[in-house]
Chain A
Amino acid sequence: MDSPPFLRMSGVRKRYGGVTALDGADFEADAGTVHAVLGPNGSGKSTLLKVLTGVVGPDAGEVRLRGEPLRPRGPRDTLAAGVASVYQELSLVEDFTVLDNLLLGVEPTRFGLRDRRAATARALPWLERFAPAFGGRVPVRERVGDLDPGERQVVEVCKALVRDPQVLVLDEATASLRRGQVEVLFEVVTDLRERGVLVLFITHRLAEIFSVCDRATVMRNGTDVATVTVADTPERELVELMSGQPQARSSAAPARQAALRTAPDTAGAAAPAVGADPSAPPRLEVRELTGDRLDGVSLHVRAGEVLGLGGLQGQGQSELMAALFGSGRRTGGTVLLNGAPVRPRSPKQAVRAGFCYVPGNRGGQGLALGRPILENFALPSVGRRAALGVALSRRREVAAARSVAERINTRYGSLDDPVSTLSGGNQQKIVVGKWFPTEPSVVLMDDPAKGIDVGAKAEMFEVVAELAASGAAVIVGSSDDRELVEVCDRVLVMFEGRVVDEVFGDRLTEDTLIASAMHITGADVAAAHSGDAAAELPEPDHDPEARAPGPDHGPEEGGA
């Protein structure tokens, strides 16, 4: 350690109002490495890297790059110093073409005017390199707003690369990528490492860390806990470093499963496990539902049952829920609720019929972030408690909110604080909890645990169990197979707008789900479609090169 490290951040502090995001964090990394930054939500890892990229101004601390102090006043300065980043919230202008986005801020000019030829020359190699991630095309002149979320994320990556960075920050860059896209990205990352670029990598997926990273720094409570060499560190140790406690949760999961399965019995509802009482009428039955991305979906859920929707991402799971909830298009088919056909044309009608919907995008769809916790709790049911449907009593509202908050174990300062002051996990619990007073008979959850950390996730699923226990039929869509295995009684695997497999009982394991979802991407769609017997299922393709983008080694590793 004679020469100074390539990148060194020391004593970095940052407070947002009353919340400490970074509390004297130190960080070092070398050129030519891929360095992971890990930690639960709110551990400060994103803030740390935003300080590096100049998007966030630190309250204290120092950043040195190649031994030189770096005091950026904004992203302009860091880009000039060779730091480029790929953000969680994309930094793309939707109205611009891909080419214009790639060169935004660094447009080459000739005689004072933008030079399109030079721009193309600079951007094209990267787009060509990533062509497989765009389904084989090179979308130079396409509007970014017309690309799908995965493709936009790839554009974001190319945009950083066009800037020829010495340090590349990938902040959750793989979260919305498909498996093939991740492969291309990792190839490029490996090339960059060869060329001496430092790649900083934030991800929730441990598998990705083990496949590309050399070093890893674990963050917790706004400070760095440890920096390790990935190859020498067992997964379990990393997880322990992140959670700050030995793996005690492994025993909790089965207990919760048990609670899930027994609870409905106590409620006197229909049998929870599939097959236990096939004669019980389903709470919700869907027959040949068609609509956007839905090509004839049929399913049924009983009261107290938790049904999972699995498969690859974007196979119609979200659209199915939207169609059921009246917010998406529905062109045909029947939906029976307690045997009676329902056809809600808006969420309002769906709520009245007994549906509720929990989106994964809590900031955008689940909460009114600037409004008080109280109002967020009250929103779906506020009319029911009002006198004459209008006049509210504050005492009654507070009592209603308190009782729900207690049931779902939410911690808050005051009910009058904006909901944005809560942690992500507590926010998500409110997104679910706000439906309790409406006593829903069908609960639709679309990736309800997206972007919340391990502990919050566990509590979140206790809330799901609670809902099922109270006699609701629960449908959970998730991109995380482990989640589905933990929380569901039965999982339907979807592919291209159809249900192609049903997994329950002993077959309900992560491996089966992955195999079922992956297998279908091959040529034998029809075969998989026709067969729902377990015997027909082929061996899971365990191609070591091709790792599934799904967190098949999620941070809650330990039990399975």
Chain B
Amino acid sequence: MTTTIPSIPLRRLAKDPVVISGAVTLLLWGAASLYSPAFATWGHIVTTLTVASFLGVIAIGQTLVIIAGGEGIDLSVGAAATLSAIVASRFMNGSDDGLFFAVLAALASACVIGVVNAIGVLVFRVPPLVMTLGMIAVVAGFIRLYTGGRPEGSAAPLLNQLVTGDTVLGIPGVLWLWLGLSVLVIWLLRRTSYGWRLYAVGANRTTAYLSGVNPSAVKFSAYVLSSLFAGVGGLLLLGYTQNVYTNLGADYMLNSVAAAVIGGTALVGGVGGYLGTIIGAILLTVLSALLRTMQIGGGEWGDAPRQILFGLVLIIVLTAYGRQKRLRG
């Protein structure tokens, strides 16, 4: 929130997670451009942002759930994205005829996951981490039951066109969509009563309750929105890859959490925002792309060195500000 106010002292800016992660992103991008000038080309930037957009959209809901507090976390976003893509591809089956219905069915199926998560967390008081972890197993099982292990169908051409085709200014539709969703979510968090209540519930559930807010309703909606946006992310992924596989969204499970946390959304709840998550998503994607470009990984070592460096850089970035309070005052 602080970034909107023009007159904040530099010292505070230097501690703002959004500023730090933005700077790190630029640094990584600069390093990548030095290493391989191709990185600085327009086409490369658009590609990187496109790849980041899937993580960014899936991490919308993750950000909401984490802000809502109470150890809130949604590890089932990857599963929701996969399910949505699989349902959609089956209904679309490579044609534009059933597009509307397919999108509706896909998002509805994703929402079901959110509803079940919310019931588990709010009614049965299962810790969110465990509940959403468990949902991964259930959704994976359901996908197997639904597809028999071999997902069928493919994306509607229109969807593919929307995601990858150049629309305006050579920028693919998916980026415009991400931009639109970002504006919407940032507005939702900063300028709606829902957003303010969400922060209040996350910062202090009891206070919110005693101020006439219904914390359960707020949290319920956060979990449903989380799955919904994960479903949207799944659709976009489907449009990008055109075909589906059963662990399409698996990588987004913890990366979405990492994107939110890198962007300054603290796991304790009530702190952070979506702007940070956007930067977090871009940072993670640039890092990944950089490691790939540097040809670390591939060849005889396989994927391993890239994974190792990715983890280490993540730790370093988080050390800059993602730290918990000291015990001693």
Distance to closest chain B CB from A72 (angstroms)? 10
The reply on B197 being an interface residue by CB < 8 A is yes
Contact B206 A365 (CB under 8 A): yes
Contact A74 B196 (CB under 8 A): no
Closest to A346 in B: B214
Known contacts A348-B212, A365-B210, A390-B193, A375 near B200 by CB under 8 Å: yes
Q: Which residues of B contact A175 (CB under 8 A)?
A: none
The reply on B263 being an interface residue by CB < 8 A is no
Interface centre among B1, B5, B271, B329 (most CB of A within 10 A): B329
Q: Which residues of A contact B208 (CB under 8 A)?
A: 368, 379
With beta carbons under 8 angstroms apart, the residue of B204, B212, B214 that contacts A350 is B212
Q: Which residues of A contact B211 (CB under 8 A)?
A: 347, 351, 379-380, 434
The reply on B125 being an interface residue by CB < 8 A is no
State in angstroms the CA–CA spacing of A55 and B204 once bound together.
25
Distance to closest chain A CB from B255 (angstroms)? 26
The reply on B24 being an interface residue by CB < 8 A is no
The reply on B314 being an interface residue by CB < 8 A is no
Per-residue interface assignment for chain A, residues 362 to 375, with 1 indicating a CB less than 8 Å from any chain B CB and 0 otherwise: 00111111111001
The reply on B273 being an interface residue by CB < 8 A is no
Q: Which residues of A contact B191 (CB under 8 A)?
A: 391-394
The reply on B270 being an interface residue by CB < 8 A is yes
The reply on B213 being an interface residue by CB < 8 A is yes
Contact A386 B203 (CB under 8 A): no
Per-residue interface assignment for chain A, residues 352 to 390, with 1 indicating a CB less than 8 Å from any chain B CB and 0 otherwise: 100001010000111111111001101110110010011
Per-residue interface assignment for chain A, residues 332 to 358, with 1 indicating a CB less than 8 Å from any chain B CB and 0 otherwise: 000000000000001110111000010
State in angstroms the CA–CA spacing of A376 and B213 once bound together.
12
State in angstroms the CA–CA spacing of A243 and B5 once bound together.
38
Closest to A50 in B: B329
Q: Which residues of A contact B193 (CB under 8 A)?
A: 382-383, 386, 389-390, 392
Contact B270 A55 (CB under 8 A): no
Contact A368 B200 (CB under 8 A): yes
Q: Which residues of B contact A383 (CB under 8 A)?
A: 193
The reply on A327 being an interface residue by CB < 8 A is yes
Distance to closest chain A CB from B206 (angstroms)? 5
With beta carbons under 8 angstroms apart, the residue of B192, B203, B212 that contacts A351 is B212
Distance to closest chain B CB from A383 (angstroms)? 5
Known contacts A327-B210, A346-B214, A368-B200, A55 near B1 by CB under 8 Å: no
State in angstroms the CA–CA spacing of A364 and B328 once bound together.
21
The reply on B194 being an interface residue by CB < 8 A is yes
Distance to closest chain B CB from A362 (angstroms)? 9
With beta carbons under 8 angstroms apart, the residue of A56, A366, A382, A434 that contacts B329 is A56
Known contacts A74-B328, A370-B271, A392-B192, A379 near B213 by CB under 8 Å: yes
The reply on A57 being an interface residue by CB < 8 A is yes
Q: Which residues of B contact A57 (CB under 8 A)?
A: 328-329
Q: Which residues of A contact B206 (CB under 8 A)?
A: 364-365
Per-residue interface assignment for chain B, residues 144 to 175, with 1 indicating a CB less than 8 Å from any chain A CB and 0 otherwise: 00000000000000000000000000000000
Contact A416 B5 (CB under 8 A): yes
Interface size of A in residues (CB-CB distance below 8 Å): 44
Closest to B326 in A: A57
Distance to closest chain A CB from B68 (angstroms)? 13
State in angstroms the CA–CA spacing of A352 and B212 once bound together.
8
Q: Which residues of B contact A386 (CB under 8 A)?
A: 192-193
With beta carbons under 8 angstroms apart, the residue of B192, B197, B207, B214 that contacts A366 is B207
Distance to closest chain A CB from B264 (angstroms)? 13
Interface size of B in residues (CB-CB distance below 8 Å): 27
Contact A368 B203 (CB under 8 A): yes
State in angstroms the CA–CA spacing of A367 and B191 once bound together.
20
Interface centre among A57, A347, A350, A352 (most CB of B within 10 A): A347
With beta carbons under 8 angstroms apart, the residue of B194, B209, B214, B270 that contacts A371 is B270
Known contacts A365-B210, A391-B192, A371 near B199 by CB under 8 Å: yes
The reply on B41 being an interface residue by CB < 8 A is no
Contact A379 B5 (CB under 8 A): no
Interface centre among B5, B192, B327 (most CB of A within 10 A): B192
Q: Which residues of B contact A376 (CB under 8 A)?
A: 200
Per-residue interface assignment for chain B, residues 206 to 234, with 1 indicating a CB less than 8 Å from any chain A CB and 0 otherwise: 11111111100000000000000000000
With beta carbons under 8 angstroms apart, the residue of A54, A351, A375, A393 that contacts B196 is A375
State in angstroms the CA–CA spacing of A367 and B203 once bound together.
9
State in angstroms the CA–CA spacing of A54 and B328 once bound together.
8
Interface centre among B193, B204, B208 (most CB of A within 10 A): B193
With beta carbons under 8 angstroms apart, the residue of A325, A351, A368 that contacts B207 is A368
The reply on B324 being an interface residue by CB < 8 A is no
Contact A367 B1 (CB under 8 A): no
Contact A357 B210 (CB under 8 A): yes
Interface centre among A16, A357, A371 (most CB of B within 10 A): A371
State in angstroms the CA–CA spacing of A414 and B208 once bound together.
22
Distance to closest chain A CB from B4 (angstroms)? 9
Per-residue interface assignment for chain B, residues 87 to 125, with 1 indicating a CB less than 8 Å from any chain A CB and 0 otherwise: 000000000000000000000000000000000000000
Q: Which residues of A contact B197 (CB under 8 A)?
A: 379, 382
Contact B203 A369 (CB under 8 A): yes
Contact B192 A371 (CB under 8 A): no
Per-residue interface assignment for chain B, residues 1 to 38, with 1 indicating a CB less than 8 Å from any chain A CB and 0 otherwise: 11001000000000000000000000000000000000
Known contacts A55-B328, A394-B191, A365 near B203 by CB under 8 Å: no
- Please report which residues of chain B, range 176-191, place their CB below 8 angstroms from some CB of chain A when the two chains form the complex: 191
State in angstroms the CA–CA spacing of A212 and B328 once bound together.
32
State in angstroms the CA–CA spacing of A57 and B329 once bound together.
6
Distance to closest chain A CB from B1 (angstroms)? 7
State in angstroms the CA–CA spacing of A350 and B210 once bound together.
10
Contact A347 B199 (CB under 8 A): no
State in angstroms the CA–CA spacing of A91 and B214 once bound together.
32
Distance to closest chain A CB from B197 (angstroms)? 7
Per-residue interface assignment for chain A, residues 307 to 334, with 1 indicating a CB less than 8 Å from any chain B CB and 0 otherwise: 0000000000000000001010000000
Contact A348 B213 (CB under 8 A): yes
Contact B207 A365 (CB under 8 A): yes
Interface centre among B2, B206, B208 (most CB of A within 10 A): B206
With beta carbons under 8 angstroms apart, the residue of B5, B192, B209, B213 that contacts A390 is B192
Interface centre among B206, B207, B208, B214 (most CB of A within 10 A): B207
- Please report which residues of chain A, range 44-74, place their CB below 8 angstroms from some CB of chain B when the two chains form the complex: 50, 54-57, 74
State in angstroms the CA–CA spacing of A54 and B2 once bound together.
34
Interface centre among A375, A382, A414 (most CB of B within 10 A): A382
Q: Which residues of B contact A367 (CB under 8 A)?
A: 204, 207
Contact B270 A370 (CB under 8 A): yes
Contact B210 A375 (CB under 8 A): no
Distance to closest chain A CB from B18 (angstroms)? 15
Distance to closest chain B CB from A244 (angstroms)? 26
Known contacts A50-B329, A371-B270, A382-B193, A347 near B207 by CB under 8 Å: no
Known contacts A74-B328, A390-B194, A392-B196, A348 near B214 by CB under 8 Å: yes
Q: Which residues of B contact A372 (CB under 8 A)?
A: 1
Distance to closest chain A CB from B15 (angstroms)? 11
State in angstroms the CA–CA spacing of A522 and B194 once bound together.
53
Known contacts A394-B191, A416-B2, A368 near B270 by CB under 8 Å: yes
Closest to B188 in A: A390
Give 10 nearest A-B pairs by CB, closest first: A351-B212, A368-B203, A56-B329, A368-B204, A382-B193, A386-B193, A380-B211, A379-B211, A383-B193, A348-B212
5 example contacts (A-B, Cβ-Cβ < 8 A) are as follows A57-B329, A359-B210, A371-B200, A371-B203, A392-B192
Apart from the given pairs A327-B210, A368-B200, A438-B212, 4 other A-B contacts in the complex at a CB distance below 8 Å: A382-B193, A386-B193, A390-B192, A392-B191
